[in-house]
């Protein structure tokens, strides 16, 4: 009787271990390639919200920027052109509003460049903190599952945009 109890106990442990090994695991959340991108919801200038969850099932380019940032100013026309040429890839920009002199700077920046993609306003730098953004610009390339595939710290090039998705 003890022998059968021991065999059943060992079989149950082996089954539980196998189940844990085969159980699908979610990717860890965090601002590193291979991780699931941290979700967020931010206000936007159009009084709507910029929510990452709204882009579930789509490829997304998240770009963090500031209006006073020289490389950000240079790359915005490239992002605008990219969004027009690739409507299947969603461009979502996040202005780190906590580091802006005023919200008017943000409005003027967008108006001057006729930018139409969604802009989240990170008033408390909470989302930029979650994404470990310490300088501008920074871009995150997400696949349809919301996994970060690539991160580009610094100004994007056409080559970056062509090769990251």
Q: Is 21 among the domain residues? A: no
pLDDT 10s digit of each residue in the chain, 165 long? Answer: 777 676 765 665 565 555 555 544 555 667 899 999 999 999 998 878 999 999 999 999 999 999 999 999 999 999 999 999 999 999 999 999 999 999 999 999 999 999 988 999 999 999 999 999 999 999 999 999 999 999 999 999 999 999 998
Q: What is the pLDDT of residue 20?
A: 58
Q: Is 10 among the domain residues? A: no
**Which residues, at least 6 apart from 61, have a Cβ–Cβ distance to it below 8 Å?**
79, 82, 89, 90, 91, 92, 139, 140, 141, 142, 161, 165
Q: Is 19 among the domain residues? A: no
- Residue numbers of the domain that contains 65: 27-164
Q: Is 125 among the domain residues? A: yes
Q: Is 101 among the domain residues? A: yes
Domain total of the chain = 1
What is the spatial distance between Cα 162 and Cα 165, in angstroms, rounded to a whole number? 7
Q: What is the pLDDT of residue 24?
A: 47
Report the side by side order of strands in the sheet with 119-121: 119-121, 89-95, 59-65, 138-142, 148-153
What is the spatial distance between Cα 113 and Cα 102, in angstroms, rounded to a whole number? 18
Q: Is 143 among the domain residues? A: yes
Q: Is 3 among the domain residues? A: no
For residue 101, give Cα distances in angstroms to 32, 59, 105.
30, 32, 7
Q: Is 1 among the domain residues? A: no
3-state secondary structure (DSSP) of residue 98: helix
Q: What is the CATH number of the domain that holds 140?
A: 3.40.30.10
């Amino acid at each position: 009787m003890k022998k059968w109890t021991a065999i059943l106990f060992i079989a149950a442990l082996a089954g539980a271990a196998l189940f844990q090994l085969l159980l699908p695991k979610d990717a860890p959340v965090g601002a590193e390639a291979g991780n699931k991108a941290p979700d967020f919801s931010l206000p936007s200038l159009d009084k709507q919200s910029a929510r990452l969850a709204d882009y579930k099932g789509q490829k997304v380019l998240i770009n963090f920027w500031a209006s006073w940032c020289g490389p950000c100013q240079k790359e915005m026309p490239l992002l605008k052109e990219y969004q027009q040429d690739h409507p299947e890839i969603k461009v979502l920009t996040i202005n780190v509003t906590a580091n802006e002199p005023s919200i008017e700077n943000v409005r003027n920046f967008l108006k001057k460049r006729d930018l139409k993609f969604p802009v989240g306003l990170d008033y408390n730098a909470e989302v930029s903190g979650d994404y470990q953004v310490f300088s501008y610009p920074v871009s995150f390339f997400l696949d349809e599952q919301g996994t970060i595939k690539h991160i580009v710290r610094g100004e994007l090039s056409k080559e970056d945009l062509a090769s990251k998705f």
